Structure 1
Amino acid sequence: MKKWSKFSFSFLLIAILMFSLAACNTNTNNSKTKKLVKVRLAEVTRSIFYAPEYVALEKGFFKDEGLDVQLTTTAGGDKTMTALLSGGADIALVGSETSIYVYAQGANDPVINFAQLTQTDGTFLVSRKKIDHFTWDQLKGTTFLGQRKGGMPQMVGEFVLKNHGIDPHKDLNLIQNIDFANIANAFASGTGDFVQLFEPTASIFEKEGKGYIVASFGTESGHVPYTTFMTKQSYINNHKGTVESFTRAIYKAQQWVATHSSEEIAKAVQPYFPDTDFEIIKTVVERYKSQGSFSTDPILDKEEWNNLQTIMKESGVLPKEVDYKAIVNTAIAEKVIKK
């Protein structure tokens, strides 16, 4: 009887242990198969300038945070903001100036900047002819193919020109009526002596002999919240955990980019530029890293915000001064960094 009791007790212990292990395995499997939260992200253009965003996708940082981020390219600030406001996107990556335009129109559900991605202008001045010793006054009297009026590239471009003593509307034949997506094609077809282009287009043109990079608007303009992740206030109210997880993934990517080589970053983002030569991707990444274009954290600070409004005011497109705290939320980014 005693032997049977010992056997029963041992059997019972084994059964309990096996049940516990099975329960642990079930919980582990459930955590692995937990449904990801879908986030629709609209980016204003496809550019190596946004390398940390692609790193977050490629390295699985979003998935690590329980997010299924679905990226679409909407080609232009107006289209990107329309997608966000109409409910076609949950989060937008676009210039902060667009949030000011929306706020100035008296939006009931303002668009909030919650995570900064880039902190300088991302465009370069490209000349049709090779210039060994470029000076800004060489632009006078030429045809300049600029960006869409009211957008960050155009505003920063004109701000830089004015700082070099050039009145873009008097000293140049300024063309601004070409759609953002068609500017590069227009220049390649023979329009303009100079053009303001994003990468990798600028470097591709240089490699193909269609143009030559002579200056960087990013190094000339100082720090600005050039492209930030933003969403409607209502989305933050209803999905605060999702926004925080999104920001955490971006911060991981920013830190990864800051601590890895241009070649490693180029390999990570290459899938998003399948038609671009790897060496060009690496060159572009190095160019942006060297001029400090990639933000190393997602905080949009007040000095950058004020610089943005100064640039907008100089361009004559600032509808009104907007207080930093009105449409900038740094609490989420600060919480992420502290953790």
Structure 2
Amino acid sequence: MAINGIVRPSSDVQKKQVLQPFNLTATGYNLNYLPEYIALRHGFFREQGLDVTVNIPTPWDGVLDALADGTAVMALGGIWVPSMYRDRVQQYTVFSQIANRCPLAVLKRGSSEGFKLTDMAKSTVLMKSGGGASVGLFFKMLLRENGIDARAVDYVQDLDGIMLGNLFQGGMGDYFITDNLSALAMVSRNPNVSIAMEMVTQGDIPWSVYYRETSTITPEILDVQKRFCIGLAKGIDWVLQHDAESFRDELAELFPTVPVDVAISVTNDFRRNKMWTSTSVDRQGFERWQQGLADAGLLKEPFAYETIVDNAPAAAAQLAAKAARQS
């Protein structure tokens, strides 16, 4: 098994299986995808007869090309893309989720003691955008939900995240929004910066989902998706059952550029705050995000859950897992 050329171990028994190729294309490599990486490393997909490989294209929207030319079985990314494209460019169906919360954090200079979201009105906020529009979409939705006019904030969001992070530390802007892992790593290096808010605490939302072109779905594809969901669910359960300190070495291997204590801290924070719950897309979280996308102008109006999501593979996987536990 490999992620962009990184070989993952498997048991001798698993190697003897006749495995079905399952090529996944993803918009990035992120800690909020951790249960998938655990499922790969621990052979949970191979148990379902799937030889899962992962490609991360540059730029990220190459995932849509991979679906179109058939080099990928499915894509992993934000649900805002299938929503925005629907009835305009291409129909995509979402069948599973991995991240149930937003993995971003708000950084500020100085102490974050007493911070309130309303403090951000009339400020300048730096936001990375290299991986798509999700960062700005979620933050502006959060402002609207809290009665803050998103137009009362100035944004710098068309630059690379590393560049923006350096500029923020050098004095540009009032706040910087980036992924939680990068935020905590910055704080560990820079005592003049603090985390004002971890957005994982800000309610359910289908942040990262799996999808493919609707017209290509067949009974055989649905069966493969079900088996993928079984393996992914085992990965989620495994992560939830193990304190991150107990798999320190794996985290160090998976995220070698991040201090391992930072990776452990973020993982346990995500475990506590429902980043990973189920392979099924939560209906209330979906409706919340749809309203946010509509308010942002990406949709004419929110889509109904069943228009975008087919929960059948995830539901079938849950039934299969329950039957296996009872047998």
The TM-score normalised by the length of structure 1 is: 0.81
Aligned to 1:34: 17
Cα distance between partner residues in 2 of 1:102 and 1:266? 40
Aligned to 1:245: 227
Quote how far apart the aligned CAs of 1:135 are: 1.8
Q: Percent identity?
A: 22
Aligned to 1:124: 105
User: Which of 58-67 and 86-95 deviates more?
Assistant: 86-95
**Secondary structure of 1:293's match?**
coil
Contact 1:118 1:226 in 2 (8 A): yes
Question: 1:166-207, CA deviations, whole angstroms, 9 ceiling, x for partnerless residues?
Answer: 32322x221122256755455456543211111321111010
Contact 1:236 1:243 in 2 (8 A): no
Cα distance between partner residues in 2 of 1:167 and 1:285? 33
Quote how far apart the aligned CAs of 1:234 are: 4.4
Cα distance between partner residues in 1 of 2:19 and 2:29? 25
Q: Which has the higher helix share?
A: 1
Aligned to 1:63: 46
Aligned to 2:291: 310
Aligned to 1:226: 207
List gaps (5 residues or longer) in structure 1.
1-28
Superposition pairs of residues 183-202 of structure 1, within 5 angstroms:
183-184=164-165, 186-188=167-169, 190-202=171-183
Aligned to 1:336: 317
Contact 2:84 2:298 in 1 (8 A): no
The 3 A distance-change label for structure 1 pair 185 and 228 is farther
Count how many residue pairs are aligned between Structure 1 and Structure 2: 306
Aligned to 1:321: 302
Question: 1:115-159, CA deviations, whole angstroms, 9 ceiling, x for partnerless residues?
Answer: 111111110111133332212232233220125497232211011
The 3 A distance-change label for structure 1 pair 230 and 202 is same
User: Which of 176-185 and 51-60 deviates more?
Assistant: 176-185
Question: 1:264-299, CA deviations, whole angstroms, 9 ceiling, x for partnerless residues?
Answer: 35544432211222111110001111211112x211
Quote how far apart the aligned CAs of 1:87 are: 3.5
Quote how far apart the aligned CAs of 1:103 are: 1.3
Aligned to 2:323: none
**Secondary structure of 1:60's match?**
coil
Cα distance between partner residues in 2 of 1:57 and 1:117? 14
* Residue number among 228, 240, 246 corresponding to 1:264 in the alignment: 246
* Residue number among 177, 184, 187 corresponding to 2:158 in the alignment: 177
Cα distance between partner residues in 1 of 2:214 and 2:59? 22
**Could you tell me which amino acid in structure 2 is paired with residue 102 of structure 1?**
Y
**Secondary structure of 1:306's match?**
helix
The 3 A distance-change label for structure 1 pair 273 and 235 is farther
User: Which of 271-280 and 81-90 deviates more?
Assistant: 81-90
Contact 1:45 1:76 in 2 (8 A): no
Quote how far apart the aligned CAs of 1:162 are: 2.5
Cα distance between partner residues in 2 of 1:76 and 1:195? 23
Aligned to 1:44: 27
Cα distance between partner residues in 2 of 1:273 and 1:61? 20
Cα distance between partner residues in 2 of 1:86 and 1:128? 46
**Secondary structure of 1:69's match?**
strand
Question: 1:226-258, CA deviations, whole angstroms, 9 ceiling, x for partnerless residues?
Answer: 111112234431533322221111011111122
Cα distance between partner residues in 1 of 2:56 and 2:297? 28
Quote how far apart the aligned CAs of 1:77 are: 5.7
Contact 1:104 1:319 in 2 (8 A): no
Question: 1:25-44, CA deviations, whole angstroms, 9 ceiling, x for partnerless residues?
Answer: xxxx9985233222222222
The 3 A distance-change label for structure 1 pair 326 and 181 is farther
* Residue number among 99, 103, 106 corresponding to 2:82 in the alignment: 99
Aligned to 1:25: none
Cα distance between partner residues in 2 of 1:235 and 1:180? 35
Q: Does 1:216 align with 2:198?
A: yes
**Could you tell me which amino acid in structure 1 is paired with residue 214 of structure 2?**
Q
Question: 1:46-91, CA deviations, whole angstroms, 9 ceiling, x for partnerless residues?
Answer: 2211111111111111122222211223467634334433434322
Quote how far apart the aligned CAs of 1:304 are: 2.1
Q: Does 1:114 align with 2:95?
A: yes
Quote how far apart the aligned CAs of 1:97 are: 1.1
The 3 A distance-change label for structure 1 pair 50 and 181 is farther
The 3 A distance-change label for structure 1 pair 304 and 31 is closer
